[in-house]
Structure 1
Amino acid sequence: MAKDKKQPRPKAETPKGFRDYFGQDVTERRDMLDRIAQVYHRHGFDPLETSAVETVEALGKFLPDVDRPNAGVFAWQEEAVPGGGTAGDWLALRYDLTAPLARVAAQYRNDLPSPYRRFAMGPVWRNEKPGPGRFRQFYQCDADTVGSASVAADAEICGMLADALEAVGIDRGDYLVRINNRKVLNGVLEAAQVREDQAEDVLRQIDKFDKVGREGVLALLTTGRLDDSGARIDGVGLSEAQAGPVLAFLEAKGGDNAATLDNLSAAVGGSAIGAEGVDELRQIAAMLAAMGVAEDRAVIDPAVVRGLGYYTGPVFEAELTFEILDEKGRKRQFGSVAGGGRYDGLVERFTGQKVPATGVSIGVDRLLAALRAKGLAGAQVAGPVVVTVMDRDRMSDYQAMAADLRAAGIRAEVYLGNPKNFGNQLKYADKRGAPVAIIQGGDEAERGVVQVKDLILGAKIAAEASVEEWKSQPAQTEVARADLVAEVRRIIG
C-alpha cells in the first residue's frame, strides 16, 4: 500500500497587499488616534463601531458592473457558506467607513438623534492591485454629521480637523485646511456654457491644475496637448472663451478670504447656483473666524478640486506644508493627509429621502508617516521590567515581584524561557527594551534583598565610561526586597 504523500508546509508569508503591525507601530497609531478621538469627543461627536462586513447591496456604489458583484471589494456569496443567508445574497468586507454610516443612519433613523454626529476609526479593505505604499487593508479615521443642511456643520468639521492636527503634534504653520465648494464650480460650468456631457471631462482636467499649470489646463480644456512622453492627449473641446471662467475659478485665490470670495463671485457671473456656493463659503469663513480658526489654519482656496465630482457642496482637505526628503533625496512638500465635504445624496440610497451629511476622513497611515518625518512619533516605548529566574523552584517568588511592580503601575514580566543560561535572560531583556532587570538568587533570598540592574545606564557606561567611572556609578544595586518597587520607580521615573 502506497504511503500518503506528505503535505507541503504552508509558507510563512504575509498575503500580497497586506502587512503586519508590531508593538511600536500599533502603539504609535493608537496614541495618535486617541488624541484625535479626544478632540472629536470634545466637539460632541460620539464613537461608532460597525461590523467589518456589510451587504454588497449596501456597498453598491462601488460595484458598477452588476455581473461582477465583488469588483473592488472582498466579497463572498452567502449560499456558499454553511448556515448562510438567502441564495444569491453577497457579503463583503467594508470598503470605507462612510457606506456603513449611511446604512446605520437609515437603519436606526428613528432611534438616533438628528443631527447625528459620529466618529469612527478602523481598518477597511479594498480588492485592488497592491503597489508601493498601496495596501489592500489600511486604517481610516472619519467624523461626520448626518441630518444637518447648515453650513455651520461644514465649518465645524473644518475647525475640528485643524484642532485634531494640532492635537497630534502638527504645529500651526505646518498645515492648512483648504476649503472650496462644488456649487461654485457648478456656477462656473454654467457661466462657461459647458454641456452636461462635457462636465465630467472638465472636472478631470481641472484636477490636473497643480501638475500642468494654467497653460496645460487651457490646452486640455480646448484642443489638447502632448504629455511628457510625446503622446497626444485629446482636449475637451471648449473654446478659449468658454475656458475663461474655468481658469478664472482656478486662479481666484487672493491675498485673503475676502479677496478670494470676490474673485469667485466674478468667476461665476450671473449663475444662481454659483452665487449660492460663494455665499456658503462666506458663511464658513465667518464662522471659522468666530471659532478662533484664523486664515493661517483654514482658508478658502479654489484650487481644492479633488472630490468635486462626488461632493455636493463644501469640500475641504488638510495639507501639510512642511518639506521632507523623498527617496531620491529631493525636497518636496508632504501634501494632503485628510479630505472631506458635503455628500447629501448618500443616505438617500436607503430611504428614498434626501438626508444632508458632511464629513472628513483622515488618512491614518499617511498622517502617522508625517509625524514620523517630523520626529513627532517613533519615541521608543519602554519595555517591561524583566524579573530574571535564578532558581526555577522559586517561580512563585519571582511572580510575586512582578505582581508588586504591576500593582504599582509598572510594566513587568517574569522570564519564562529556559533559565539555565543567565546571559540569555539578559539578552532577552535587551531585546524587549527592558529598562531594568531584577535578580535574586538563593543568597539574596536568604538575606531578603534583590539586585536591581539598570540596563539603560549599564549600556551607556559600557559604551562611554572608563573603568574608574564604571566603578563610581555602578548600574547594579542591592536593595531590600521591601524596597524593590521604590528603587525601580526611582530608576525609570
Structure 2
Amino acid sequence: MSAPAKLKARQPRGFVDRGPADVAATERMLAVIRESFSLYGFDPVETPFVEYTDALGKFLPDQDRPNEGVFSFQDDDEQWLSLRYDLTAPLARYVAENFDALPKPYRSYRVGYVFRNEKPGPGRFRQFMQFDADIVGSGSVAADAEACMLAADTMEKLGIKRGDYVVKVNNRKVLDGVMEAIGLGGEENAGRRLTVLRAIDKLDKFGPEGVRLLLGEGRKDESGDFTKGAGLSEEQADVVLGYLEFQLDEEFGDWEGVLDDWKRSVGNSAIGNAGVEELAQIHALCRAAGYGSDRIAFESSVVRGLEYYTGPVYEVELTFPVTNEDGQVVRFGSVAGGGRYDGLVGRFRPEPVPATGFSIGVSRLYSALKAVKSPIVDAKNDLPLVVVTAMDNKSPEFMPGYQKLVSDLRQATVEDGKPLCRADLYLGSSGFNAQMKYADRRGAVCAVIQGSSEREAGTVVIKDLILGAELAAAGRDVKDSAEHKERQAQAQFSVPVGELVEGVKRMLGRHS
C-alpha cells in the first residue's frame, strides 16, 4: 500500500502572509495612528470578527445584491453569522448594545481585519486591515470638521508632507439635492440615485466622458464588458456633470463661489441647500483652527461607495506621483475615507443616534509610506538582535550555561531603562558554521560564542557581524593595512562572562 499523499501547502486566493519586517513596520505605523487619535480624546474598543448577518446590514458598495460580498455561515441554532466587512457596522451594534453605559458623544477608535467576499485581483484582497475613528451621539457638523482635522493631522504625524495629501470634503445632502433637481427624488428612485452616485465615484478613473456614459445608457470597457447606466437624459446628465465641475481650486478661504455654484445645482431642494450650509459651517470651523485648502478642501466628486452615509463625506487623497502597473505616472490616490451615518445606530434604537467617522486603509497607507520612504516603516527592527550560539548543543549539560548568557542579555537595559537588545538562543542541532549562517539570516548584529576553551577560561567571544561583513568585503590591498587589523580586533573580541552585557553594549554603540 502506498503512503498517503502529502497535503499541498497553498494560500487561498485574495489572502496574503506577512513576514516579520512588514509586521514590525505596520505596528510602528499603527502606534503613530493610535497616538494621533488619542490626542483627540478617542478611546479604543474591540469588536468580534463575526457578527449576526442582519446586524451588519446590506451596505456594501458596487453590489447589486450586497450580501454576495460577505462571508457568511449558519450557526447550530440556524442563525446566520458573517465576517465583518468593515468596522463601522459592528460599532453601531456595540454602541446600541451598551448605549446606557457609554458617555455621549462617544469617541472610539478600532483597528482590525475586515473581510470581503469579492473577486481578488492585483491590490484587491479579501482580508485587509482598517483603522477607524468615530464620534457617536453628536449631530453637530463640528464632529465632521474634527474628523477632517484629525485625518489631516494623522497624515502629517506619519511623515506625509503638507502638499502631498488633501482631505476632500463633500456632502451627500448636496448630492441628494442635485438628484431632486433633476427629478430623481423620492423612494421610488433610490436605485437610480445609487447608480448615479456610483457613476460619480468613477470620475477619477474614467473621466467626465466615461461618467457621462454611466449616467446615460451605460459604458463598455476595453474587454467588451458592459456596465448598465443610470438612464439619465442628456439634460439631466448635464446638470450632474455641471455640478462636478465646481470644486475648490483656490485658497480654502475663497469658498463662497463654489458653494454659490452648488446652490445653483441643487435649485430649490431643501435638503440640498441644508447640505451647502453644513459645508459652510465645516469651512468656518476648519479655517478658525488654522486649516487651509492645502490640507482640507471641497471636492464635488467625493461620494463614498457605502450606502449608509447621510451627510458630510470625506476622503484622504495622497497627491504625490507614483508609477502604476501600466507604467503611467499617476497620483497615489485615496488611503482613507468616511462620513456621517446618522441612521446606522438608529436601526437598533427607538431614538435617532447621529454618528460620523472615517476609516484608514492600513495596507494601502503602508504602501504609501514605503513610497515616500517614511522612517516609520523602515524594515529595521527597533531593537538589535543578538544570537547566542550553542557550540556544544549535543551535550545537554552545557545548555544551562548558554541559557544564562541569553537571559543576562534579555534583562539588560540601557540608560533610559529600555531593553538593550533582543536575544535569541540557537535551539537547533546544527554545527557552528550553520549557526553563524542562521545568525546572518536572522539579521543579527552580533553573535555570542562560547566553546569548551572559552568555558574553561570563563570568557565569551563577541563577534560583530556587521563589521565582520564589511571587513570580508574589503580589497586585498586594504586587508594588509594596520587599520584593517585594528578593525579586525574590534570585530571579534573576548570578555569575561561577567562582562558580557558591557561588551555587547560597546559593540552596539558603534552602530547606533
Pairs within 5 Å for 1:403-422:
403-408=407-412, 409=419, 410-419=421-430, 421-422=431-432
Partner of residue 452 from structure 2, selected from 439, 442, 445: 442
- Aligned sequence identity (%): 53
2:432 and 2:149 map into 1 onto residues whose CA distance is: 56
1:49 and 1:40 map into 2 onto residues whose CA distance is: 15
Structure 1 equivalent of residue 240 of structure 2: 246
1:219 and 1:391 map into 2 onto residues whose CA distance is: 74
Pairs within 5 Å for 1:300-319:
300-307=298-305, 309-319=307-317
Return the TM-score normalized by structure 1: 0.90
Structure 1 equivalent of residue 479 of structure 2: 467
Structure 2 equivalent of residue 430 of structure 1: 440
Contact between 2:70 and 2:83, CA under 8 Å: does it hold in 1? yes
Residue 62 to residue 303, structure 1, CA distance change in 2 (3 Å): closer
Residue 54 to residue 428, structure 1, CA distance change in 2 (3 Å): same
**Deviation of the 1:236 alpha carbon:** 4.2
| Partner SS state of residue 447, structure 2 | strand
2:217 and 2:424 map into 1 onto residues whose CA distance is: 71
Partner of residue 169 from structure 1, selected from 152, 159, 167: 159
| Partner SS state of residue 100, structure 2 | coil
**Deviation of the 1:41 alpha carbon:** 0.9
Give the residue type in structure 2 aligned to 1:467.
K
**Deviation of the 1:172 alpha carbon:** 1.2
Pairs within 5 Å for 1:115-130:
115-130=105-120
Structure 1 equivalent of residue 416 of structure 2: none
Contact between 2:144 and 2:356, CA under 8 Å: does it hold in 1? yes
Structure 2 equivalent of residue 479 of structure 1: 495
1:145 aligns with 2:135: yes
1:384 aligns with 2:385: yes
Pairs within 5 Å for 1:187-336:
187-194=177-184, 196=186, 197=189, 198-218=192-212, 220-222=214-216, 236-254=230-248, 255-257=250-252, 258=255, 259-307=257-305, 309-336=307-334
Contact between 1:36 and 1:164, CA under 8 Å: does it hold in 2? yes
Structure 2 equivalent of residue 31 of structure 1: 28
Partner of residue 99 from structure 2, selected from 109, 119, 138: 109
Residue 226 to residue 430, structure 1, CA distance change in 2 (3 Å): closer
Deviations along 1:13-53, one digit per CA (max 9) or x if unpaired, are 22232222221111111111111011111111110111122
Deviations along 1:146-178, one digit per CA (max 9) or x if unpaired, are 111001111111111111112222111111110
Return the TM-score normalized by structure 2: 0.87
Contact between 2:22 and 2:379, CA under 8 Å: does it hold in 1? no
> Cα RMSD (Å) of the superposition?
2.6
2:81 and 2:220 map into 1 onto residues whose CA distance is: 44
**Deviation of the 1:69 alpha carbon:** 11
Pairs within 5 Å for 1:332-347:
332-347=330-345
1:441 and 1:460 map into 2 onto residues whose CA distance is: 25
Structure 1 equivalent of residue 363 of structure 2: 365
Deviations along 1:125-160, one digit per CA (max 9) or x if unpaired, are 223332222222211111111111001111111111
Give the residue type in structure 2 aligned to 1:401.
L
2:458 and 2:221 map into 1 onto residues whose CA distance is: 80
Residue 335 to residue 91, structure 1, CA distance change in 2 (3 Å): same
1:230 and 1:390 map into 2 onto residues whose CA distance is: 66
2:295 and 2:272 map into 1 onto residues whose CA distance is: 25
Any gaps of 5 or more consecutive residues in structure 1?
Answer: 80-85
Residue 27 to residue 284, structure 1, CA distance change in 2 (3 Å): same
1:69 and 1:11 map into 2 onto residues whose CA distance is: 33
Contact between 1:440 and 1:451, CA under 8 Å: does it hold in 2? yes
1:452 aligns with 2:453: no
Give the residue type in structure 2 aligned to 1:418.
S
**Deviation of the 1:188 alpha carbon:** 1.8
Residue 9 to residue 72, structure 1, CA distance change in 2 (3 Å): same
Contact between 2:163 and 2:294, CA under 8 Å: does it hold in 1? yes
Residue 220 to residue 283, structure 1, CA distance change in 2 (3 Å): same
Structure 2 equivalent of residue 83 of structure 1: none
2:220 and 2:66 map into 1 onto residues whose CA distance is: 38
| Partner SS state of residue 135, structure 1 | coil
2:182 and 2:105 map into 1 onto residues whose CA distance is: 37
2:179 and 2:67 map into 1 onto residues whose CA distance is: 35
Q: How many residues align?
A: 479
Contact between 1:73 and 1:126, CA under 8 Å: does it hold in 2? yes
Residue 428 to residue 340, structure 1, CA distance change in 2 (3 Å): same
Deviations along 1:282-336, one digit per CA (max 9) or x if unpaired, are 1111211222322211111112133375411000000111111223433221100
| Partner SS state of residue 54, structure 2 | coil
| Partner SS state of residue 179, structure 1 | strand
Structure 2 equivalent of residue 48 of structure 1: 45
Give the residue type in structure 2 aligned to 1:275.
N
**Which segment is superposed worse, 104-113 or 442-451?**
442-451
**Which segment is superposed worse, 9-18 or 138-147?**
9-18
1:63 and 1:221 map into 2 onto residues whose CA distance is: 21
Contact between 1:308 and 1:315, CA under 8 Å: does it hold in 2? no
Residue 211 to residue 134, structure 1, CA distance change in 2 (3 Å): closer
